[in-house]
A and B are shown apart, each in its own frame.
Chain A
Amino acid sequence: MSDAAPAQRQPNRLAYWYRSYAEQTESVTLGMWLFLVTEVMFFGGLFMAYMLYRTFNREAFAAASYTLDIGLGAFNTVVLIVSSLTVVLAVWAAEKGKQKQLILWLVATIVLGCTFLGVKYVEYEHKWHENKFPGPEFVFEDKRDFAHSAEPVDPDKVRMFFHIYFGMTGLHALHMIIGIGVFAVLLVNAIKGKYTQRWHDPIPVAGLYWHFVDLVWIYLFPLLYLIGRH
Chain B
Amino acid sequence: MSTEQHGHIGLRVYFAVFFALMILTWITVEASYHDFEPWNDLIALGIATAKGALVVLFFMHVWHSSPLTKIVLITALFFFLVLVAFVYADVLTREMLNVPSRPPGFG
Q: Which of A's residues lie within 8 Å of B, judged by CB?
A: 20-22, 24-26, 29-30, 33-34, 36-37, 40-41, 44-45, 48, 51-53, 55-57, 70, 74, 77-78, 81-82, 84-85, 87-89, 91-92, 95, 156-157, 160, 197-199, 204, 207-208, 211-212, 214-215, 218-219, 221-223, 226-227, 229-230
Q: How far is the CA of A21 from the CA of B37 in the complex (A)?
A: 53
B3, A229: Cβ atoms closer than 8 Å: no
A52 contacts B87, C-beta separation under 8 Å: yes
Main SS of the interface on chain A?
helix
**In the complex, what's the smallest C-beta–C-beta distance from A205 to chain B, in angstroms?**
11
Contacts of B91 in A (CB 8 A): 52, 55
Ranked 8 nearest A-B pairs via Cβ: A22-B1, A226-B32, A222-B44, A21-B2, A37-B76, A230-B35, A40-B76, A229-B32
Interface size class of B (residues with CB under 8 A): 35 or more
The answer to whether A230 and B52 touch across the interface, beta carbons within 8 angstroms, is no
Query: B66: shortest Cβ distance to chain A, in Å?
Result: 6
Instruction: Encode contact with A along B62-94: 1 for CB under 8 Å, 0 otherwise.
Output: 000110110011011101100110011001100
Q: Could you count the A-B residue pairs with CB atoms below 8 Å apart for me: how many are there? A: 141
Q: In the assembly, what is the distance between CA of A88 and CA of B14, in Å?
A: 7
Please give, as numbers and ranges, the residues of chain A lying within 8 Å of B44 by CB-CB distance: 222-223, 226-227
Please report the C-alpha to C-alpha distance between residue A161 and residue B60 in the assembled complex, in whole angstroms: 31
Determine if B41 and A84 form an interchain contact, defined as CB atoms under 8 angstroms apart.
no
Q: Is B59 touching A88 in the complex (CB atoms < 8 A)? A: yes
Which listed residue (A24, A95, A222) contacts B3, Cβ 8 A? A95
| In the assembled complex, B101 has its CB within 8 A of some CB on chain A | no
The answer to whether A222 and B2 touch (CB under 8 A), given A78-B25, A84-B55, is no
Chain B residues lying within 8 Å of A44, measured Cβ to Cβ, are 80, 83
What would 17 more interface pairs be, CB under 8 Å, given A22-B2, A37-B73?
A26-B66, A29-B69, A30-B66, A40-B77, A55-B88, A55-B91, A57-B105, A82-B18, A85-B14, A87-B59, A92-B11, A95-B6, A211-B55, A212-B60, A215-B52, A218-B48, A223-B48
Partner among B21, B83, B106 whose Cβ is within 8 Å of the Cβ of A81? B21
Are A218 and B7 within 8 A (Cβ)?
no
- In the complex, chain B residues whose CB is within 8 Å of the CB of A81: 18, 21-22, 25
CB-based contact A56/B106 at 8 Å: yes
Question: Chain B residues near A22 (CB, 8 Å)?
Answer: 1-2, 5
Shortest Cβ distance from B88 into chain A, in angstroms?
8
CB distance A222 to B66 under 8 Å?
A: no
Contacts of B80 in A (CB 8 A): 40-41, 44
